[in-house]
Structure formats: C-alpha cells, structure tokens
Structure 1
Amino acid sequence: MSDLLLLAIVFTGLTLIGAPLFAAVGLTTFLALFLIDIPYTLMAQTGYTSLTPFPLLTIPLFVLAGRLMETGGMGARLIGVATSLVGAYRGSLGLVTVFACMLFAALSGSGPATTAAIGSITIPAMEKDGYKTPFAAAIAAAAGALGSLIPPSNLMIIYGLVSETSIPRLFLAGFLPGFLITALLMITVYIIARRRGYGGSGVPFSWGPARKAAWDGKWAIGAPVLILGGIYSGAFTPTEAASVAVFYALFIGLVIHRELNARKIIEALRFTALMTGLLILLTPTLAFGQLSAFYDVPAAVESAITNITTNPVIVLILIGIFYIIIGTFMESLAQIILFTAVFLPLVTSLGIDPVMFGVFTVITCEIGFLTPPLGGNLNVAARISNITIEAVSVAVLPFIIAYCIGLLALIFFPDFVTWLPDLVYGPAR
C-alpha cells in the first residue's frame, strides 16, 4: 500500500507541475518497475505489442479521411444540407452547427477534428449573425464532441482494443446515444437563442431547397453510407473501411469536386500526424495498466465500491463523476487505457454490458473535451474564434449539463444503448 501511495503522489505531482502526460505516466511506471524489481525491458516489450494491433491503423486513416473530406469540400456541403433542414428556426445557425457536426462526425471519428472542420465555417457566420463569440465557440466545441460518439469513433476503437469488445458492436451502440445528445444540444441552443433573440433565416422549410442541398451534398452523404454500410454488411473490416474512406475522399476531392490539391493533401497529412501523435501514450499507459493488475488495483477498487453499494446505477454515477473529474486534466486516450482495466471487471460483475460501459466511457470523455484546463475542443474553438479558453469554458456550461442529462438517461435505461447492436448481431454472450 505504501508503494501505491508513493506512485500516486509521484504521478499527481508530475501532472500538477505540467509534465506531459506520457512523461508523467512513463516516469511513474519506471518507478513502479524499480520498486517491484521488474526488468525495464517491460516498457520496450509493451511498446512493441501496443503498436502492433492491426486495428490501430484505423485511427490515423479515419482522421486523414475526415481532413481530406473537409478540405475537399464535403464539410461545406454538409453544412448546406443542415441549413436547408433547420435554417428557418430560432437560433438557426447554432442548430445548423450542431446538425452539421453530427453529420461530419460520421466522417472524422474525432471530436477536435469535427470542431475544427465545422467550427471554422460556422463560428464566423454566427458572429456575423449577432451571436456572442463565446456562445458561438461553445456551440462548435460541444457539438464537435459528437465526433467521438457517433461512429466511426477513434475512442471506441481504443476502448474496443483495450477491453476486447467488438468494435462493430460499439459503433452500432453509438448511434442512438449520439442522436439523443444531438437532440439535447439542439434544444439547448434553441432555448438560449430564444432568450437572447438570435433569429432564424426567415425562410420557411420547403422540399425544393432541401432536395437541391441533398443533391449538391450527395457525395458527402454517401461517405458514411459507404463506410458504415460496408462494415455492417461484412464487405470490409473497420480498418479496411478507413482505407476505403481515404481513397473515397481523395477521389471525390480531386476528381468530382476538384477542390483538393497537393498543398491541401500535405496539410491533411500534417494534421493527421499531429492528431494521432497521442498514440505515443499507448506504451506507458498500457505498461502502467499491467502494473495496476500486479498491485491488484482492480480488485481493491471493486471491494471499495461494492462495500458502499452494489446498485449498478449508483456505481455508474460514481464512476462517471470520477471520469469527469479526471477528464479535466487527462487525455481521453490515456483515461480509457488506464481505467478500463480498473473498472470494467467491476461493472461486468454487476451485470453491465461492456458495450454499454464503452459508450458510457466515451460520453464522459466528451465532457472532458469541454472542461478546462485540458479541454481539447475548447482549445480548438478558442483558437478559431480568437478568444480565451476561459470565455468559452463559461459559455459551454449549459451544453455540459445537456451531456450530463444524456449520460444519466443512458445509465437509467442501458437497453437504449445495446438495443441496436443486439438487434443486428444478437444478444452478447
């Protein structure tokens, strides 16, 4: 127990002084290896095995595909589709931003990437329409987090690898919760816009403009149909689907829309390298997770929580509070790797489906995207709108409440998460 206390103090201290997370986890892991006299080669072995799983290729490929689709004109066309559907309502540009982020989430797999793709277009438009800049940035940040929930989701891929849960089942499980949270975010935008007097376009909905926008955006709409349809029909695996998405984005951007060029492709590759650089966390966090099993941390956590309660709802609420607090300063990837091994045995012993726990984990990570000081989406939105992260942090609070309401709904009604994958693949065994 004294060793665990020392490790906790070292990790917390390194985090508080601003050490990069991979360094904090890595140094703590080296200290743990020293204390229990395990060869340091464990880190090298873990580094090799952590980067060999073939499905890991899915993450950079989906990020690259999403960036190519954005710079190739698909993002703007998705905004056109969203505008034709909700542009006449109160707070229309805010509603368009949420709806467009939901659509683009099916292309990118990343929360910050979705915020950057849609927010860079809609935040300036909202400012011109009279929206206060922090509110406009908050909408883009909150809606962009849908990129990590609606499939294909990079965080679900990581959770699936760590927990050995079916990735296609996780993808299917993300749809209904994604639509629920989209609706909650749109309701939040509408209520605030109505109170502040942000108007709509004044043009009533009609099928003509909607059909025209859908025709103009048919290639963008076809992307998730091709990607997800191929996965669920069995035509290709998620990794193969990501490769198909990259070639699809290149073909549409170069041949159909003709908005891609060499400079944009190079920029997309650079963006992908920056976004997927977080995979450096895999080695130290997986090694740290293995050491937590050596110290019997999962059993200790299970014993501590079950001594308080064995009610699955209360247990999930407690874990959710912990995840949200941790998410304020820890990267989502590290959070999933470190704590899935700790909490998954507990929740499965209480009868909670691993797929349900995966969606639950991803939503708590989305809230982490919206909470400072880390707040990945907040930083992206703040940079786009040229304001401080503090200003966006205050404006995003109503949307965090919307996410928490959605999370509670899933905790109380877990079948809402597992219904679709159970319908398609049958109940999990």
Structure 2
Amino acid sequence: MSPLLILAIAFVILTIIGVPLFASVGLTTLLALFLIDIPYTLMAQTGYSSLTPFPLLTIPLFVLAGRLMEVGGMANRMIGIATTLVGAYRGSMGLVSVFACMLFAALSGSGPATTAAIGSVTVPAMKKEGYDVPFAASIVASAGALGSLIPPSNLLIIYGLVSDTSIPRLFLAGVVPGIVVTLLLMVVTYIIARRRGYGGDGDRFTWAPFLRAAWEGKWSIGAPVLILGGIYGGVFTPTEAAGVAVFYSLFVGLFIYRELTIKKVVSALRFTALLTGILILITPTLAFGQLTAFYDVPTAVQEGITSLTQNPMLVLLLIGIFYIFIGTFMESLAQIVLFTAVFLPLVSSLGVDPVMFGIFTVITCEIGFLTPPLGANLTVAARISGISIERISVAVLPFILAYVVGMLVLIIFPDLTTFLPNWLYGVAK
C-alpha cells in the first residue's frame, strides 16, 4: 500500500471518529513524516514560520473591532439605517437583516461574527412580527456569511498569505461579488416573505427618516469609509487598518455613543480569543500542504482533471462541487490552506486569475458555513433563535441556492472580480 493511500485513510478515520480537525491533520502529518523518514522538526519549523507573517495579526484585530462595534451600539444604528430604506416592502425586517449584514460585514471580516452581531437584534424583531423562526434564523445565517466575502475578510487574508496574492487587490475584488450575492439573498427573502404574507411596516421611503437615521449613525457609516478608504488610498496597510478599526470602535463606543463598558470590552476580548483560536489550524495544515507538494499531488490533480476537460469554466465547476462537499465537515480556514496549493497551479495554468480564484474559493466556503454538520453560521443562528440546527438546515436551502447562483455568475463573468482591482492598481503582472 502506498504511503499516500495510508495517509488518506488515516485522515478519513481520524475525522470520522471525531478527532478535532487540527489534531487529525497534525497526526496525519506526523505519520507521513515517519513513513518517509523526514525529521519531526518540520512541524516545529512550520509552526514558527506559519505564525510569523505580520498580516496574520489582521484577523484578531478585525474580529475584536467588529465585536466592539456590535456591543458599542454601532450595529444597532446600521440596522436603523437599513430599516428606513426597506420598511415598506414585503418581508422588510428580513431585508433589513440582509442589508445590515452587508454593512456590518465591512467591519467584522468574519461570517459567524456578523451573524451574531445582526442576528441578536433582528431575529427577536422578526419573531415579534410573526416570522417563522427557522426562516428568520436562516436569513441571518446566510446573510452573515457575507462577512467572509465583503472586505475586510479574514478568509481572503488567509488566501492572500497562502497564495502570495495582494490582499488589497483581493479586498477590492470582493466588493462587486459581495453586492451581487447580497441582492440574490434579498430576492430570495422577498419571494419567500411574499408567499408567506410577511408584511412591512407600511412606511414608504422618504428622505427625512433616512437622513435622520444616517445622521444618528454617521459614526457607524464612517467606520468602513475610514477602514477601506485608508487601505485603497494607500494611507495604511490592511494590518494597520485593523488596528485603526479597534481604536475607532473604542473611541466611538466609549466617548460618542457611550455604550461601551469595561465589562463589554472584556467580553469582546474573550469572544475574539475564542473565535480566532481557529488559527491553531494553520501550523498542521501548512505542514500537510508541504507534504502534498512532496508527493507531487498538485501535478497529479492537474493531470487528472485536465484529462477530463481543459475548459476553465468546467474545471472551476468541478472544484466548486468538491469545495462545497468538503466544506460540510472541514473548517474554511483549513480548506483554504490545504487546497489552494493543490488547485491554484491548475487554474492558473488555464488562465484563471489568482484574485478571481480567491473570491471563488471564499464563496464556496460561505456555503460551507451553511451546511451541517459543521455549519458555523448555523450554530450561531441556532443559539440566537433557540431552535435546533436541523430546523435551520432545511430553511436555509433556498439561500444556499442563492450562493450557488452567485458562484455560477462568478464562473461565467470572472471580470466581476477583477475589473475594480485592475482599474485601481493596474493589471497584475
């Protein structure tokens, strides 16, 4: 039996019996080192080198900033702005949830964090308006996943580090696809709400309430303008922008809205530590990725797929199906670290832009947020709404379809991701 087959069997068995993913990947990597007689110091060296890149600091900082903005009152004011825009339409509170998640996604960089921030406010509101609870929970779970696509995005940061792709280009590339997916989610919400008779509040859009809400929430709106404008304007790097976001959220929460307390700050720090603890996956997955290169797995995959088709669209479709399947039981971070090294050389050889492939990868990961048994966003939405993941899993299916349509649109029209970064930074060499 070949060593590669032994490793594959070991990884599958460890995963099936419930060993935590970082341990499954780590133990499989150690077994591989033993079989091919490579010093175990590879794990230690990889662990050191994987956690030293300065941009990695961006992830906990953006998560902390997003949490501080949530508990400091900025999320509520974003919801107020969204409500004045769509209050008269069918399923208005559902539409508000989607739109507010899009706005908050530009602050948190995390899908579960966006779901928690907006869902904790809008799910109880939808319950009061008579929404079916699984439907309400599925709205915030699916819209919360936008936090991983709309910049700043933690998953895009990881992809940029693994693939050596410009993070500012990736951030800018996520804007248009993020808007497209947002519109698709709003269409699904509106259709279901209309069919079930969930009404709006009856207030037609007028400028006065909107301007009043915008003025009250000007500090909330100012956050993404400051963060993204600073990055694209060349004022600071994404990592520096994350630090600015933390100080901005502290300043607004403490001195402007005055809703932040020491207890809330400590709670935000605890939340950040728990959510970013997933970074423990980086060391074993990077070491495992080095082993795939040793076994020449990328070349084998490239030859296997190109023997079936060399059409870039079909190849991306096949990779998308694989990513969606693997995302049901694998963390998105591990998915990106493990498989980018396998598939990026293949798609690049077919003329696919690495920036486009990064956005494509993140969209498939967002679907993984919504599929059991892992489904991080489903877990958060279930806790907020007080129902089981099983009930949300059924209700979220139409929204998964919206993400699949978004993925297909991206495959057919790849320029949606590249024209903004190419316009601002020039065509990548």
State if a TM-score over 0.5 links the two structures: yes
What is the one-letter code of the residue matched to 1:45?
A: Q
In the alignment, which residue of structure 2 is the partner of 1:390? 390
Counterparts of 1:293 and 1:191, CA distance in 2? 47
Task: Mark the runs of 5 or more structure 1 residues left unpaired by the alignment.
Answer: none
Q: How far off is 1:380 after superposition?
A: 0.2
**Paired residue for 2:14?**
14
1:368 aligns to 2:363 (yes or no) = no
- Quote how far apart the aligned CAs of 1:242 are: 0.2
Counterpart CA distance in 2 for 1:366 and 1:297 is: 26
Of 162-171 and 3-12, more deviation after overlay is shown by 3-12
Give the CA deviation at 1:205.
0.7
Partner AA of 2:42 in structure 1:
L
CA distance in 2, matches of 1:86, 1:15: 45
Distance 2:87 2:368 in 1: 30
Question: Partner residue of 2:181?
Answer: 181
Other-structure match for 2:322: 322
**Normalized against structure 2, the TM-score is what?**
1.00
2:43 corresponding residue in structure 1: 43
> Is 1:3 equivalent to 2:3 in the alignment?
yes
1:143 corresponds to 2:147 = no
- Where 2:130 maps in the other structure, the secondary structure is coil
Tell me the equivalent position of 1:347.
347
Aligned residues: 429
Match for residue 58 of structure 1? 58
2:84 maps to what in 1?
84
Confirm or deny that 1:157 pairs with 2:157.
yes
| 1:195-234 superposed matches below 5 A | 195-234=195-234
- 2:333 matches 1:333: yes
Q: Distance in 2 between matches of 1:185 and 1:48?
A: 41
> Secondary structure, in 3 states, of the residue corresponding to 2:374?
coil
Supply the distance in 1 between the matched residues of 2:195 and 2:276 (Cα, whole angstroms): 40
- Other-structure match for 1:270: 270
**2:168 counterpart residue number:** 168
Mapped partners of 2:75, 2:12: distance in 1: 40
What is the deviation of 1:210? 0.2
What is the one-letter code of the residue matched to 2:389? I
Tell me the residue number matched to 2:290.
290
**Counterparts of 1:325 and 1:51 in 2: how far apart (Å)?**
28
Following the alignment from structure 2 to structure 1, what is the Cα–Cα distance between the partners of residues 119 and 317?
31
In the TM superposition, what whole-angstrom CA distance separates every residue of 1:287-325 from its partner, at most 9, and x where no partner exists? 000000000000000000000000000000000000000
Q: Secondary structure at the match of 1:38?
A: coil
AA in 1 matched with 2:428: A
Counterpart in the other structure of 2:310: 310
**AA of the residue aligned to 1:297:** V
Give the residue type in structure 2 aligned to 1:342. V
| Aligned-pair CA distance for 1:8 | 0.6
TM-score by length of 1: 1.00
- Matched residue of 2:417: which SS? helix
Partners in 2 of 1:86 and 1:365 — Cα distance?
29
Q: Deviations over 1:184-232 (max 9, x none)?
A: 0000000000000000010111000000000011000000000000001
Q: Distance in 2 between matches of 1:425 and 1:327?
A: 32
**Counterpart secondary structure, 2:387:** coil
Q: For 1:234, give the aligned amino acid.
A: G
The alpha-carbon deviation at position 2 of structure 1 amounts to: 1.3
Q: In the alignment, what sits opposite 1:27?
A: 27
Counterparts of 2:416 and 2:74, CA distance in 1: 31
Taking only the aligned residue pairs, the percentage that are identical comes to 77
**What one-letter code is carried by the residue in structure 1 that aligns with 2:309?**
T
**1:253 maps to what in 2?**
253
Is the aligned partner of 1:130 residue 2:147?
Answer: no
- Structure 2: 5+ residue stretches without partners: none
Q: Deviation at 1:104?
A: 0.1
2:405 alignment partner AA: I
1:88 CA drift (Å)? 1.0
- How far did residue 247 of structure 1 move? 0.2
CA distance in 2, matches of 1:56, 1:188: 35
Take 2:425 and 2:212, find their aligned partners in 1: how far apart are those partners?
36
Deviations 1:143-178 (A, max 9, x none): 000000000000000000000000000000000000
1:285 partner letter: T
Q: CA shift at 1:416, angstroms?
A: 1.1
Q: How does 1:394-405 map to 2 (within 5 A)?
A: 394-405=394-405
Matching of residue 95 in structure 1 with residue 78 in structure 2:
no
Q: Find the counterpart in structure 1 of residue 114 from structure 2.
A: 114
Question: Counterpart of 1:373 in 2: which secondary structure?
Answer: coil
Distance 2:88 2:111 in 1: 27
Q: Distance in 2 between matches of 1:220 and 1:331?
A: 31
Partner Cα distance (1:328, 1:294) in 2: 27
Q: Return the alpha-carbon distance in structure 1 between the equivalents of residues 401 and 4 of structure 2.
A: 35
Q: Which amino acid aligns with 2:65?
A: A
CA distance in 2 between partners of 1:50 and 1:257 (Å): 39
- Determine the structure 1 residue equivalent to 2:68: 68
For residues 94 and 257 of structure 1, the distance between their equivalents in structure 2, rounded to whole angstroms, comes to 26
Question: C-alpha displacement at 1:428, in angstroms?
Answer: 1.1
Name the CA distance, whole Å, in 1 between partners of 2:337 and 2:216.
41
Q: RMSD in angstroms over aligned alpha carbons?
A: 0.5
